[in-house]
Amino acid sequence: MKTIHVDLEERSYDIHVGNGILGQAGKILRDLNPSKKGIVISNSKILALHGERLIDSLQRAHLLVETIALPDGERYKTLATVEAIYKKLVRFRVDRKTMLIAFGGRVIGDIVGFVGATFLRGISYIQIPTTLLAQVDSSIGGKTGVNLIQGKNLVGAFYQPKSVIIDPLMLLTLPEREFCSGVYEALKYGVVRSASLFNLVDRKHSRFPEKDKSGLEKMIIECVKIKAHIVSSDERESQVRMILNFGHTIGHALESATRYRKLTHGEAIGHGMIMATQLAVKLRKIDPVAALKIQQAIARIAALPSLHSLKWRQVLLTIVYNLCCR
């Protein structure tokens, strides 16, 4: 198991990465949870695949466990879902010492983090990400929130978890399209921060997750190290953390314009990185040869869904609005 520290003074926390560590979740969380009560928030698919191992680990650590199953999908990342969770937490008699456990992908993590930031004016939560995208990116850094019809993540807060537990072996059950969605995010880290990581992702992603479990674990650890270092130096995205938005300004607009139904988040970011790179070439901000290398690496991950029928006026209006909100 590899432990990576996010240094944010009183908001600091550790990220634990290792094949098979889901079974150690109870031991890791026991000392973080003074009430010995945890609320696992997930969806029915993840609970059916991995819930028994997690809950068994928590109960062996003498933690009292309740579960909340949410509908699956980005379109449920709404204030209505948050309100439904609030009502269940009241029914479970949750207090400020209770710990929320986000057990899922990016959507689950974003929702649970926002609930943690707002219920009872703030209660602790931890992230146990079950998708590659969440393991390399969204579970780290404290960005939480939900969407409005007008745009993505327009309601949210910066609220750091108490810990992150990453078990790459859970990715063995991930559908191929969802796995590739996370590979786009991993490649992003290589573009903005590490040529060696870029080469690792480009050369070996087709062998993940089944054929090279140790290589997958190494890739995730390298992504986590980069994210942890950047968040430690710029928690609220005022300076260097903005480089992690490569592809996201356009990508978020694409998701919004397609009402979160046509593209996975990673696919939207893949399209966004290609468009951002093309724009950078036109503005003479990047060498055309380097730009082509990035675009070819993105294309090798998987075939991106067509944007042929998209209403580009809506995309541009969303981009402008999101930029004005920063």
The verdict on whether 50 is a catalytic residue reads no
Residues 186 and 284 in one domain: yes
Residues 118 and 163 in one domain: yes
Residues 156 and 196 in one domain: no
Residues 166 and 183 in one domain: no
Residues 35 and 183 in one domain: no
Q: Which residue has the tokens 């694409």?
A: 254
CATH code, domain with 107: 3.40.50.1970
State the chain's maximal CA–CA distance in angstroms: 59
Q: What is the pLDDT along the chain (326 residues), one digit of tens a residue?
A: 999 999 999 999 999 999 999 999 999 998 887 778 999 999 999 999 999 999 999 999 999 999 999 999 999 999 999 999 999 999 999 999 999 999 999 999 999 999 999 999 999 999 999 999 999 999 999 999 999 987 889 999 999 999 999 999 999 999 999 999 999 999 999 999 999 999 999 999 999 999 999 999 999 999 999 999 999 999 998 889 999 999 999 999 999 888 888 999 999 999 999 999 999 999 999 999 999 999 999 999 999 999 988 878 878 877 777 666 66
The verdict on whether 88 is a catalytic residue reads no
Structure tokens at 173: 């059950």
CA triple 77-267-127, angle to 5 deg: 45
CA triple 110-74-113, angle to 5 deg: 10
Using a 10 angstrom Cβ sphere, with 0-12 exposed, 13-18 middle and 19 or more buried, the burial of residue 179 is: buried
- CA distance linking residue 22 with residue 219, whole number of Å: 19
The verdict on whether 203 is a catalytic residue reads no
Residues 227 and 107 in one domain: no
- Residue 195's domain comprises 174-325
Q: Which of the listed residues 171, 196, 224 is the one where a domain comes to its end?
A: 171
- CA distance linking residue 201 with residue 199, whole number of Å: 5
- Please tell me which residue in 11, 36, 237, 300 is annotated as part of the active site: 237
Residues 150 and 194 in one domain: no
pLDDT in tens, 243-300: 999 999 999 999 988 888 899 999 999 999 999 999 999 999 999 999 999 999 999 9
Q: Which of the listed residues 171, 187, 208 is the one where a domain comes to its end?
A: 171
Pairing label, strands 143-148, 125-129: unpaired
- CA distance linking residue 304 with residue 267, whole number of Å: 6
Structure tokens at 43: 């969806």
Say how many C-beta atoms besides its own lie within 10 A of residue 313's C-beta: 9
The verdict on whether 185 is a catalytic residue reads yes
Cβ atoms of 124 and 150 closer than 8 Å: no
- Please tell me which residue in 77, 152, 193, 265 is annotated as part of the active site: 265
Residues 23 and 52 in one domain: yes
Q: Which residue has the tokens 């970011």?
A: 269
- CA distance linking residue 149 with residue 85, whole number of Å: 20
- Please tell me which residue in 248, 255, 267, 322 is annotated as part of the active site: 248
Beta strands per DSSP E along 7-129: 13-17, 37-43, 64-70, 99-104, 125-129
The verdict on whether 9 is a catalytic residue reads no
- Please tell me which residue in 162, 252, 255, 322 is annotated as part of the active site: 252
- Please tell me which residue in 93, 121, 261, 308 is annotated as part of the active site: 121
Residues 165 and 180 in one domain: no
Residues 201 and 127 in one domain: no
The verdict on whether 52 is a catalytic residue reads no
Residues 167 and 263 in one domain: no
Residues 15 and 70 in one domain: yes
- CA distance linking residue 149 with residue 68, whole number of Å: 25
The verdict on whether 237 is a catalytic residue reads yes
pTM of the prediction?
Answer: 0.94
The verdict on whether 143 is a catalytic residue reads yes
CA triple 37-38-41, angle to 5 deg: 160
Within 13 Å, how many C-alpha atoms sit on residue 288's CB side?
Answer: 1
In total, how many domains does the chain have?
2
- Please tell me which residue in 50, 152, 227, 271 is annotated as part of the active site: 227
